[in-house]
Structure 1
Amino acid sequence: MKASLQAKMGQSMTLTPQLLQSIRLLQVTSLQLEQELHQILERNPLLEQEADEEEPVSAGDGDDAALEAAAWDELPEPMFLSGGSHAGDPDNDATARIAAGESSDPRQRLLQQLQLRCNARELAMAAWWLDCCDDRGYLEGDPFDLARHGAMQLADELPDADATALLAARQRLLLEGDWPGMAAADPRECLLAQLRTLSASDARALALRIVGEQLETLARHELPALARQLDASPAEVATAVALVLSLQPHPVEQPPEPEPAFIVPDVIAWRGGGGWQVRLNTRSAPRLRLCAHAEQASGHAGMRGLLDEARWLLRSLGIRNETLLKTARVLVTRQRAFLEQGEEAIAPLTLKEVAEEIGVHESTISRITTGKYIQTPRGTLELKRLFAVRLEGAEVSGAAIKAMVRRLIEDEPAHAPLADEVIAAMLARQGIRVARRTVAKYREQLCIAPARMRRRERGPAPMARLG
């Protein structure tokens, strides 16, 4: 075999530890940043904390770091960030250490996963079943009754989605989804679905019998009784029970984390000087600077690395603060009507629109707004709250329409509750054309009962609620 040399051109980028730090600092919360900076202060003697001031934080002299970090924004696909060539091993992705900042809504996380392998029809039916589930992933009703109701509700959108097709879609969600047992009717069905996804074995076969036939005995921890009723040895029962106990008690893989006991706003917005003013909350994290003797210490070989680390950290903090401030200013400017008038005035706004206005990549805006809060006269809000999806065929956001639906129902006559189609017609007269099923979806998300139930249950309260 004849050896030869070939020249190839390729695009690659090596993520240095410093650049990874810059990217990570974009997405840490105020409390995380404060803890990390205190640890760095203890570790690096060339840094010191500035006195607290109520002045806006600027990026300082972070131009060099900004130029290097800007390369991150220009890379649309994680494949380029593997630390090697474009054809590098995707399993060796250097960005895997960076949290993606997923939605806390399990329904949204699961739908994003299903988009990879489901067509639009299958996805719509799966979304309908997920809407029928509680926070744990269990159905809120009998599957057959829900399927019949769903076939009627989806008749306009999916004419061929009858009750049989919907039940088949639930079965796929139950057994073939990323979270086995999702949309289960009860814990027994959830556990059986998880067991059926495991490899065949004697322990699995016995576990299926235990869950299917003797779940009450298992709940009482009566293992000798299980062995007698199943005609199995105590050791076999113990192995099967251990397999059952290793399963998820409910379909949702990771329940939402509890809300923090308190929130430290990252940004403060207020009206003043003839308009809206925005500044960073400098009390949410310590402000650092180089010590007076830092430059003299650079002559020490052991201190040179600490000085480089300190300089890069200050530049990274400058990039973070400048990006956060610019993003907050755009959000406040674009959502001024919402801040002044309320929910019904929230405008459609996407990550991409903000990114284009600031001149960064969409992923940067996603990271800098995740877990960050802004203090406003309307209350302390998560920055993500200021984004809103434009409803198809309308010039307003879905969040604004939901607020309008709430107001119309709150103001409806007590003796004549408004049906969904009436609300849709009232919105159409305001130039907002939405389907009746869209109104029904928003009403259900607001936990408001249908008109016929509100008429029966109407009392002193402004509106009846489900649950």
Structure 2
Amino acid sequence: MALMPGLQINIGQQLKLTPQLQQSIKILRYSALEVQQTIATTLESNFMLEVDDIQDDMDDISPEIESSSEDQPDASESEIDIEQADAISDNMEIDCEWEEVYSDYGTSQISKTQSLDDYNSPDTYTSAELTLKDKLYWQSDIYPWQGEQELVSSFIIDEVSDEGFLAVSLEEILQDILDKEPDLDVDLADVEEVLAIIQDFEPTGVAARDLPESLVIQLKSLQQNPFVVTATKMIQENFELLTVRDYKRLKKIYFLDDDELHQVIQVIQSLNPRPGREYSPSQGEMITPDLILSRTKNGFLIELNQDAFPRLTINSAYLNMASELSGQSDESKKIKEQLVEAKGLIKSIQSRGETLLRVGKYIIEKQARFFDEGEQAMQPMVLRDVAESLELHESTISRATNQKYMQTPRGTFELKYFFSTGVSQYGSEDQSAIAIKSHIKQLIEAEDPNKPLSDNKLMSLLEEKEINVARRTIAKYRESMGIPSSSDSKKLNRFK
């Protein structure tokens, strides 16, 4: 059959994402820190975009979510009444106009003569922390070193990790010294001599090359007794048997009975496996919450965090300049390009805020009891539930809950923390997996250490709380929380 050229008409539908929609999806996926970085980068390159620092108009701005009462004329005092959670879904609305996503609620506690920028809460002040290297250098400064030992000590201290161990070999330290100080007359024996001195510094057990060496150093500082001597030999000769808790072979090797082995294990367990941990930085990674939930006398108030959502505006000076320029000039085209980019970013951030508020409102409605009672009151909730209620796609809810945080009276939580699958029960409504784990943890914490609760016993105790789950489910949750079985707990408790 011959092939002939021809024309055909096909009718079809095709979905294409506009650049603005693509940017909105990307901004929604970003964490608060990434949004701040995006804004900072755009501010540097786009002269049409600026941050509005004026707060004078904040008095007329209402919070995002209002309570169900219709007789409250002042929108700034509107709140979510968690006590009336059943009425929230029908009556509580969100005003998502961008000009209304900020609130001055609670600023009355700050002196009127003091601006918001000048106010610092007392809990923001922290003292400088002493690091492990600071501690070691301070001791090195007052130690009576001989000759080049002080210089060698600085090279060794630089290689001590935050947990207190020597991060590299002595050979590498010696090579580093000779590379930087080729005229220095030192050898490996000199480095070992300085290391032995540093290992006598505080904290005890610091600068060890491995865990057994650190434990032996700590044992040397204890009062000598038969148990310390035996513990030292165990660590030096049979550390692997200790790590796998092969107590039967240890008793045979060192001719110990149960009571003597118990005393030796107690001595070893009293040691610090990470001697530098107490000097590790205690401040964790700073999280900027996207939403803030505050408790008031009438309920709860949810709002966007101003630090995560700075007020962006268009530079009016450049906008006026654009109107005066010729429409075909290069300057006018540049300004128009910058204007489109600025407006797009503002709209994307506005859309992100509106979506987060809607999701946050649903979470507060669904998990109202959690904020008063804790994890045991957590209700089953999945992405599909939120998506259907808010008439959004599940992928949108996923983007709006991943790496998004809400500051609450019970702490700061990632939004996806409130999502938990439901566990089917026999004749009862589904229970949240998080709630069941919380009940299991509470029961195990209250158990008799000498008689740990078995999975069957836990199942019986949960049934008394009207929580009916299978034994294998309890075992799965116990293992996911890192809790050993009752038989393993007996072995561990025996030598505690």
Q: Given the two structures, how large is their TM-score scaled by the length of structure 1?
A: 0.53
Closer, same or farther: CA 418–61 of 1 in aligned 2, 3 Å: closer
Offset of residue 32 of structure 1 = 0.9
Q: Which residue of 1 aligns with 2:413?
A: 381
CA distance in 1, matches of 2:333, 2:393: 38
Q: Structure 1 residue aligned with 2:390, among 358, 370, 383?
A: 358
1:407 aligns with 2:442: yes
Q: Which amino acid aligns with 1:434?
A: V
Question: Shift of residue 272 of structure 1?
Answer: 1.4
CA contact (8 A) 2:48 2:319 kept: no
Aligned partner of 2:471 in structure 1 is 436
Q: What SS does structure 1 have at the residue aligned with 2:447?
A: coil
Q: Residues 48, 359 of structure 1: CA spacing in aligned structure 2 closer, same or farther, 3 A cutoff?
A: same
Offset, 1:343: 1.1
State the match for 2:293 in structure 1. Answer: 269
Correspondence list, 1:42-53, <5 A: 42-51=44-53
Q: What is the CA–CA distance in structure 1 between the aligned matches of 2:436 and 2:321, rounded to whole Å? A: 61
SS at match of 2:302: strand
Conserved? CA contact 1:52–1:282, under 8 Å: no
Distance of aligned partners of 1:294 and 1:454 in 2 relative to their CA distance in 1, 3 Å threshold? same
Paired residues for 1:61-140 under 5 Å: none
Deviation at 1:15, TM superposition (A): 2.3
Query: Equivalent residue for 1:38?
Result: 40
Residue 343 of structure 1 pairs with residue 375 of structure 2: yes
CA drift of 1:40 comes to 1.0
Cα distance between partner residues in 2 of 1:412 and 1:24: 49
Match of 1:9 among 5, 8, 11: 11
Gaps spanning 5+ residues in structure 1: where? 63-258
Alpha carbons of structure 1 residues 18 and 436: separation in structure 2 relative to 1, 3 Å: same
Closer, same or farther: CA 398–334 of 1 in aligned 2, 3 Å: same
What's 1:293 paired with? Answer: 317
Q: Secondary structure at the match of 2:403?
A: coil
What is the CA distance between 1:377 and its match in structure 2? Answer: 1.2
Pairwise CA distance, 1:400: 0.8
Aligned 8 A contact 1:297 1:304 in 2: no
Query: Does the 8 A contact of 1:372 with 1:383 survive in 2?
Result: yes
Structure 1 residue 419 and structure 2 residue 474: aligned? no
Q: For 2:395, what is the secondary structure of its paired residue?
A: helix
Q: Confirm or deny: 8 A CA contact 2:424 2:431 kept in the other structure.
A: no
Q: 2:369 is paired with a residue of what secondary structure?
A: helix
Q: 1:368 aligns with which of 382, 400, 403?
A: 400
1:130-209 correspondence to structure 2 within 5 Å: none
Deviations 1:310-337 (A, max 9, x none): 2222111111111011111111221111
Distance change >3 Å, CA 402–CA 443, structure 1 → 2? same
Residues 313 and 383 of structure 1: CA distance in aligned 2, closer, same or farther (over 3 Å): same
CA RMSD of aligned residues (A): 2.5
Correspondence for 1:306 among 313, 338, 342: 338
2:329 corresponds to 1:331: no
> Quick one: distance in 2 between partners of 1:260 and 1:370?
19
Query: 5+ unaligned residues in a row in structure 2: which ranges?
Result: 65-94, 100-282, 324-331
Residue 448 (structure 1) aligns with: 483
Q: Secondary structure at the match of 2:316?
A: coil
Q: Specify whether residues 260 and 2 from structure 1 end up closer, same or farther in structure 2 by C-alpha distance, changes over 3 A only.
A: farther
Cα distance between partner residues in 1 of 2:318 and 2:359: 33
Over 3 Å counting, the alpha-carbon distance change for 1:359 and 1:297 in structure 2 is farther
The verdict on how the C-alpha distance between 1:401 and 1:61 changes in structure 2, with shifts beyond 3 A counting, is closer
The residue type equivalent to 2:288 in the other structure is V
Q: CA–CA distance in 2 between the matches of 1:294 and 1:329?
A: 38
**AA of the residue aligned to 1:32:** E
- Kept after mapping to 2: 8 A contact 1:294/1:307: no
Q: Would the aligned equivalents of 1:420 and 1:440 in 2 still touch at CA under 8 Å?
A: yes
For 1:6-54, what per-residue CA distance to the aligned partner results, in whole angstroms no more than 9, with x for missing partners? Answer: 2222221222322211110001111111111011112111121011758
| CA spacing shift, 1:373–1:414, aligned 2, 3 Å | same
- Separation (CA, whole Å) in 2 of partners of 1:4 and 1:20: 37
Q: What's the CA shift for 1:428?
A: 2.2
| 1:111 aligned residue | none
1:213-236 deviation line (CA, Å, top 9, x unaligned): xxxxxxxxxxxxxxxxxxxxxxxx
Q: Can you list the C-alpha shifts for 1:71-100, whole angstroms capped at 9, x where unaligned?
A: xxxxxxxxxxxxxxxxxxxxxxxxxxxxxx
Checking the alignment, whether the CA contact within 8 Å between 1:30 and 1:284 is kept in structure 2 is yes
Instruction: Show the counterpart of 2:76.
Output: none
Distance 1:309 1:260, change over 3 A: farther
Per the alignment, residue 159 of structure 2 pairs with none
User: By how many angstroms is 1:414 displaced?
Assistant: 3.9
Cα deviation for residue 415 of structure 1 reads 4.0
User: Is 1:52–1:283's contact at 8 Å kept on the other side of the alignment?
Assistant: no
Counterpart of 2:359, as a letter, is: T
Deviation string 1:403-452 (CA, Å, 9 cap, x unpaired) is 11111111223443221011112222333221111111111122222223
CA distance in 2 between counterparts of 1:377 and 1:60 reads 26
Number of residue-to-residue matches in the alignment: 265
Structure 1 CA distance, aligned partners of 2:388 and 2:322? 40
Identity rate, percent: 36
Alignment pair present for 1:280 and 2:301: no
Q: How many angstroms does 1:378 deviate by?
A: 1.0
Q: CA offsets per residue over residues 113-142 of structure 1, 9 Å max, x none?
A: xxxxxxxxxxxxxxxxxxxxxxxxxxxxxx
